Structure 1
Amino acid sequence: MNYKRLLLCLLTGYTFAASPASAFQALQPLHEYDKVSKELVETLEGIHYNRPNIDDAISSKAFDYYIDALDPSKSFFLQSDIDSLTQYQNSFDDALRNGDVQVAYTIYNVYLERLEKRLLDLQEHLPEMVKGFDYTLDETLNTDPDKQTWATTDAELDDYWRKRLKNRALTLKINGESEEKILTMLERRYKNQLRQVDQTNATDVYQTFANAITSALDPHTSYFAPRASETFNINMSLSLEGIGAVLQMDDDYTKVVRLIPGGPAATQSDLSPNDRIIAVGQEGAPMVDVVGMRLDDVVDMIRGESDTTVVLEITSSKGDTQTSKRISIVRKKVKLEDQSAKKEVVDIERDGKTYKVGVITLPTFYSDFAAIQAGDKDYKSSTRDTKTLIDELRKENITALILDLRNNGGGSLQEANALTGLFIPAGPTVQIRDQSGRVTPLGDTDATITYSGPMAVLINRMSASASEIVAGAMQDYGRALILGDQSFGKGTVQVLQDLDKGQLKITQAKFYRVSGESTQHKGVMPDIAFPSLIDKETIGESALDNPLIWDKIHETRYPVYWNIPAYLPVLEPRHAARMAKDPNFVAINAQISDFKQQVETYKTVSLNEKTRIEQQETNKANELLRENTRRKALGLDTLTSVDDIEPIDEDTFAKEASEILLDFIATNQLAQQQAEKKTAQN
């Protein structure tokens, strides 16, 4: 193909010349995994929650997942490749069952050939491409993966690559990088991708293939090869001598899944779930582009000794996703006490009287198993610590209690069960249904109650698993108002199963509330909703591929202490009226509105420098105006730069939750007085 001719047609376009001799060898199946394949089929069909039949329907889904795992951004395969490879879409089940997975390597080697040619050509011609970019042209790049289709011609794919490169180069240029630095960073990016391919071995390919099969069943069932599991482990934690974040690969990017409570990322920065890390740097050293880099390599760069600084360049999940920013985080080791329960008191003024509302923030459900095994009677656990804090708050004469489970991703099921028991007499808290249909209730056996007064549970989209069990039980018992946002929806149980080589993490059971409703997929819905900047379309169980469904089983026997729904017609309008006047909530709702608008706007990114800068400046101006409007309403000094804006104080939510609780108490007292008056009249 004559790239100069295409260059004239596209003004700044490029088509890639023939590649040098192949640098990589085609990979072939490892016969020592033949037995593993047969074991996988037997185990999945035997003990997976859905008891699936690994058939052509599963194979067809797995084929799509496998193609997506290899080429998630549709950057290497052409539509003709996909059409040709479709002949194998019903072969995955047979390959696994027969212990002959040649089909996986046949597909992979086609991908390898396309990728190798693309990246080698790219490296050869990258300098002239970067120098030839014209940032005055009105061009756009589609960044919406749902609208991205396979290119039908080499020229179409060439142009897609040109625009992707131009977009990254423009982002770096706007951030102040020189043309030489831009070229160096892009060259390093694609060298990293070539190095990743060079390091990929037959075991890695097998693991990807096996996980395509498991992904067709549910998003939490995964196969881990003996020496390669870290590469694909979606729960990779950096809590030890790191930043305290859980990362996973998303297309060619390293994406933040969640932050470890009490960790450096959560306490020192505004890093958020769904943010993408595109470059990593050490203090005083140049940034290294990590797009296309292996996850374990990125993790190694982020990890480091305590008290050293790592710099992350990220694209935010909130609002302007086309502009990157850099954040610095000092590495620390996350300790148990950093994740411990904490208390505070919120003072609310009403009718000339001050009411105290206790707030206990619980970042995770923890238990110091090492101390327990050592026989330490004073071991720390979320239940014991929470009980101590409640006793302290009661001495301060609190009127009501808030249990804050926002961003609590779960933890010990035993602790969740025991903690619920602090607020109810002996009774069931959760039901667990296994793959055979057998339902086992778990409950609190201690009839004593630590706190019996009015209370609320605060949740958000990052409240998951054990948090949802507690919130669901408190809601079903009518024991607490549930406030905030719809929870994550992680209502499944996984176990590790050893195979001949490696391990299978397999979904084997589901959680159900005492009401019989599953927490899976749907999560826990709040009684009264608070605004949230977390996008439920991209975060949560329902945002994952192929989640297990929500369903319902028989309810258990349990008492209902307060008929919470009966109070909502009074509580909700008062909550809405306060939010409409509260400058903090007005600002949050305005930010949510701007975010939704920007999400739609940036599904197509401008490659015109002037337009990009204007958009960036407009976004900054809107953000500053929104913040200064809030500050003026609160009587605070206004700011001159968006860099000085700090997140809205989380006490805003605790204060509004306290107001709702006081409304609840007042409404309940009024209802009691009316009932007593009616009884007296009768």
Structure 2
Amino acid sequence: MKKIFIYILIGLFSVNAFAQKEKSSKLSPNQSQSMEARLVAGLLTQYHYEKIAIDDDLSRIIFDEYLSSLDVNKHYFLKEDIEGFQKYRERLDDHIKLGYLLPPFEIFNVFRERFFERMDYIENELSFDFDYTKDEYLTVNSDSIDYVASKDELNDRWRRLVKSQAIDYKLDDKADTTIARLIKERYSRLKQTIGEYEGRDVFQLYMNTFAESFDPHSSYFSPITSENFKIRMSQSLEGIGATLTTDGNYTRVASVVLGGPAFESKLINTDDKILAVAQGIEGEFVDITGWRLDDVVQKIRGPKGTIVRLKIIEAGTPISTGVPQEITIVRDKIKLDNQVPYAEVKEVYRDGNQYNVGIITIPSFYLNFEAMRNGEEDYGSTTRDVKAILDTIKSEVDGIVIDLRSNGGGSLQEAIELSGLFIKEGPVVQIRESDGSIELGEDEDEEIYYDGPLTVLTNRFSASASEIFSGAIQDYKRGVIIGENTFGKGTVQNLISLNQFVPKVQDTLGQVKLTLAKYYRVNGSSTQHKGVSPDIKMPSPYAAKTFGESSYVRALEWDQIESSNYQTTKHINDDILTKLNAKHEKRLEEEPYLKTLKNNVKEAVSQQSMYRVSLNIEQRKAENEKALERQNAANELSEKISADPELVNKINTDGEIKDPYLREGVVVLADLIALGIG
């Protein structure tokens, strides 16, 4: 789904308010934007990895994606509007090379006109006297519906949409008069937001659509958006620690700030949608659908130590079919110190044997390049910090788990050097430039800093540098990868300021982030799309088509180059993996903590696959109660496991590891140790 690209870092930024616009005014481009469009087109055609031509094929992609960014659910445009726009379908390529921007502005102006018609319908025409006993449905999969031909058909589509929202409120014990007021307030806020759009916002949206037509990681940032991305890592931030973006009428989590309360809680992830916010333990939830992003930020941010409660729909689950989850987060200051690796040692009992297991969590791959260049002795570095941890614990542990879950990457150099702590020497990654040349990222240090049993935990949110490290560990047969398939991001981007190309221009121009190269594993396989497949697979609610690189229509293809010259270790072989998987599969069938996880994943997948939702309140109530019963049963089982030493299976003496993914990572490591792997 396309986004309106305005980002906020909770606790630090708020978006400047747009100037108020009358709904009848028409927005149009200016000369500076025309010049900027030509610059962006030139940069992408000249420097993008794929050397994609701006032609009719690309024009069709831009056209479809721009319409989707404005009306992804087909709730605003009429069929006649789309037919009228068809004259631009294969001409946008020529237009953008000339800096001609009237067509996208014309399309947006029609969208805004239709949008206000919908808001007027809700405010003045729609009756909230719904028949909640009628058997009818709301289709939530936009791919299965088309644009409608008449306003009457569109009215019915909106009646069903608002009725669905009303049912959610009614099931939350809201009175009918309150429901009507809350829904009208929701759309009134959205009406104000769209009414405040300026030409620069339309330009930002269209140019970003154009950049993303090359690949999903290429983007255009307006000057204001670029400024919002300049995060001063030395500052302390008060809030939950999450980057937000608008996604249609909703607020979506763009990323979770490493080391922040949201990251530490493990309760909220990238692409989760936030529906409502409440203050403190007993505060009433406030629906934030349709709110301006800066207003959402003000609602969620707050002083250190205070509590905020959120209602979220988990990533990959449609809004209309998902059951909102309530989470509680204690606000705190977010410091760089919280983002460094940290470790704990657990006593683990398996089959009558005790093992000491070290768990090293690595939130990101970071390097303070400036401090290193200036010769500072204690500059920040993931590898240096992990080495310090290993110095402290490696003499007392029988094996180590490296936890890379939700590690979105960072410094390529650190991924290479961290890999070097566990292998003797050799290539870690191959980088292919657009001209076909290949550069090897190599570990040149022959020292092996830790040579004992090793497992690496990954999930769908492990990306980029995390995939380079885990891929190298797997290719060298140095350790066992456990968890979910990784994200599959195998491309390299760089941020380019447009001002450097026109230094005499007084105005501050935007920036372009474009893809310049691709990553490949040492075995020659690209991490693009495929990512790193774990040796021991855990149940996962995230399918490649719904979350990860493969969910992007314009993602670059997977391919393979020649393998580099590297020597595998003798730590892991097929026989070992077969034995470990046999034990793991048995636990999946027998162990309560894994059976609970499988049930939770099954429920999440079921929610994601629904394409329509009932508008009969009793049927909807039954569906929700059934889902809540499954969730409550899972929670009760988890509590039972925690309280019963026999069910705990004496996993450790420091208390139950409630995180089933981490627990299984520790158990697999114990099995690996028991096999005598060193």
Common fold by TM > 0.5:
yes
| Mapping of residues 164-563 of structure 1, within 5 Å | 164-228=161-225, 240-268=237-265, 270-282=267-279, 287-317=285-315, 321-350=321-350, 352-368=352-368, 372=372, 376-396=376-396, 398-500=397-499, 501-562=509-570
In structure 2, relative to structure 1, the CA distance for the partners of 1:89 and 1:179 (3 Å cut) is: same
Q: How far 1:65 moved relative to its partner? A: 0.6
Distance, in Å, in 2 between the alignment partners of 1:52 and 1:326 is: 45
Distance, in Å, in 1 between the alignment partners of 2:532 and 2:556 is: 16
Distance, in Å, in 2 between the alignment partners of 1:324 and 1:653 is: 23
Q: Deviations over 1:491-526 (max 9, x none)?
A: 111111122521111111111111111111110111
Q: Deviations over 1:184-229 (max 9, x none)?
A: 3222222222222222111111122212211211111111122355
Distance, in Å, in 2 between the alignment partners of 1:456 and 1:328 is: 31
Per the alignment, residue 606 of structure 1 pairs with 614
Q: Deviations over 1:461-494 (max 9, x none)?
A: 1111110010011111111111111101111111
In structure 2, relative to structure 1, the CA distance for the partners of 1:375 and 1:185 (3 Å cut) is: farther
Whether the 8 Å CA contact 2:541–2:602 is kept in 1: the answer is: no
Q: How far 1:553 moved relative to its partner? A: 1.3
Distance, in Å, in 2 between the alignment partners of 1:664 and 1:597 is: 34
Distance, in Å, in 2 between the alignment partners of 1:156 and 1:218 is: 35
Per the alignment, residue 589 of structure 1 pairs with 598
Distance, in Å, in 1 between the alignment partners of 2:165 and 2:63 is: 31
Q: How far 1:235 moved relative to its partner? A: 11
Amino acid corresponding to residue 206 of structure 1 in structure 2: F
* Aligned counterpart in structure 2 of residue 157 of structure 1, from 154, 157, 168: 154
- Matched residue of 1:407: which SS? coil
Amino acid corresponding to residue 163 of structure 1 in structure 2: R
Distance, in Å, in 2 between the alignment partners of 1:616 and 1:215 is: 37
Whether the 8 Å CA contact 1:280–1:301 is kept in 2: the answer is: yes
In structure 2, relative to structure 1, the CA distance for the partners of 1:545 and 1:247 (3 Å cut) is: farther
Whether the 8 Å CA contact 1:464–1:488 is kept in 2: the answer is: yes
- Matched residue of 2:251: which SS? strand
Per the alignment, residue 569 of structure 1 pairs with 578
Identify the range of structure 1 (457-466 vs 603-612) with the bigger mean alpha-carbon deviation.
Answer: 603-612
- Matched residue of 1:344: which SS? strand
In structure 2, relative to structure 1, the CA distance for the partners of 1:239 and 1:175 (3 Å cut) is: farther
Per the alignment, residue 624 of structure 2 pairs with 616
In structure 2, relative to structure 1, the CA distance for the partners of 1:304 and 1:417 (3 Å cut) is: same
In structure 2, relative to structure 1, the CA distance for the partners of 1:221 and 1:625 (3 Å cut) is: same
Distance, in Å, in 2 between the alignment partners of 1:516 and 1:73 is: 40
Amino acid corresponding to residue 45 of structure 2 in structure 1: E
In structure 2, relative to structure 1, the CA distance for the partners of 1:234 and 1:607 (3 Å cut) is: farther
Amino acid corresponding to residue 569 of structure 1 in structure 2: T
The percentage of counterpart residues that share the same residue type is 38
Q: How far 1:46 moved relative to its partner? A: 0.3
Instruction: Using CA pairs under 8 Å that are at least 6 residues apart, name the structure with larger relative contact order, 1 or 2.
Output: 2
Distance, in Å, in 2 between the alignment partners of 1:575 and 1:324 is: 32
In structure 2, relative to structure 1, the CA distance for the partners of 1:650 and 1:146 (3 Å cut) is: farther
Q: How far 1:616 moved relative to its partner? A: 2.1
Distance, in Å, in 2 between the alignment partners of 1:495 and 1:209 is: 20
CA RMSD of aligned residues (A): 2.9
* Aligned counterpart in structure 1 of residue 140 of structure 2, from 136, 140, 143: 143
Matched, 1:580 2:579: no
Q: How far 1:298 moved relative to its partner? A: 3.0
Aligned residues: 634
Whether the 8 Å CA contact 1:583–1:633 is kept in 2: the answer is: yes
Distance, in Å, in 2 between the alignment partners of 1:124 and 1:476 is: 64
Amino acid corresponding to residue 579 of structure 1 in structure 2: L
Amino acid corresponding to residue 425 of structure 2 in structure 1: A
Per the alignment, residue 69 of structure 1 pairs with 69
In structure 2, relative to structure 1, the CA distance for the partners of 1:582 and 1:358 (3 Å cut) is: same
Whether the 8 Å CA contact 2:190–2:249 is kept in 1: the answer is: no
Distance, in Å, in 1 between the alignment partners of 2:194 and 2:639 is: 52
Amino acid corresponding to residue 571 of structure 1 in structure 2: L
In structure 2, relative to structure 1, the CA distance for the partners of 1:41 and 1:620 (3 Å cut) is: closer
Amino acid corresponding to residue 575 of structure 1 in structure 2: H
Q: How far 1:362 moved relative to its partner? A: 1.1
Whether the 8 Å CA contact 1:188–1:289 is kept in 2: the answer is: no
- Matched residue of 1:395: which SS? coil
In structure 2, relative to structure 1, the CA distance for the partners of 1:538 and 1:85 (3 Å cut) is: same
TM-score by length of 1: 0.86
Per the alignment, residue 95 of structure 1 pairs with 95
In structure 2, relative to structure 1, the CA distance for the partners of 1:146 and 1:536 (3 Å cut) is: same
Distance, in Å, in 1 between the alignment partners of 2:62 and 2:439 is: 32
Q: How far 1:308 moved relative to its partner? A: 4.0
Q: Deviations over 1:29-73 (max 9, x none)?
A: 211122112212211110001011111100000000100111122
Q: Deviations over 1:569-597 (max 9, x none)?
A: 32221221123221100111122223333
Whether the 8 Å CA contact 2:58–2:93 is kept in 1: the answer is: yes
Whether the 8 Å CA contact 1:346–1:655 is kept in 2: the answer is: no
In structure 2, relative to structure 1, the CA distance for the partners of 1:165 and 1:60 (3 Å cut) is: same
Distance, in Å, in 1 between the alignment partners of 2:339 and 2:102 is: 47
Whether the 8 Å CA contact 2:322–2:608 is kept in 1: the answer is: no
Distance, in Å, in 2 between the alignment partners of 1:663 and 1:188 is: 57
Distance, in Å, in 2 between the alignment partners of 1:666 and 1:636 is: 25
Q: Which runs of 5+ in 1 are unaligned?
A: 1-20, 638-647, 673-682
- Matched residue of 2:224: which SS? coil
Whether the 8 Å CA contact 2:541–2:605 is kept in 1: the answer is: no
In structure 2, relative to structure 1, the CA distance for the partners of 1:535 and 1:137 (3 Å cut) is: same
- Matched residue of 2:62: which SS? helix
Distance, in Å, in 2 between the alignment partners of 1:228 and 1:491 is: 25
Amino acid corresponding to residue 41 of structure 1 in structure 2: A
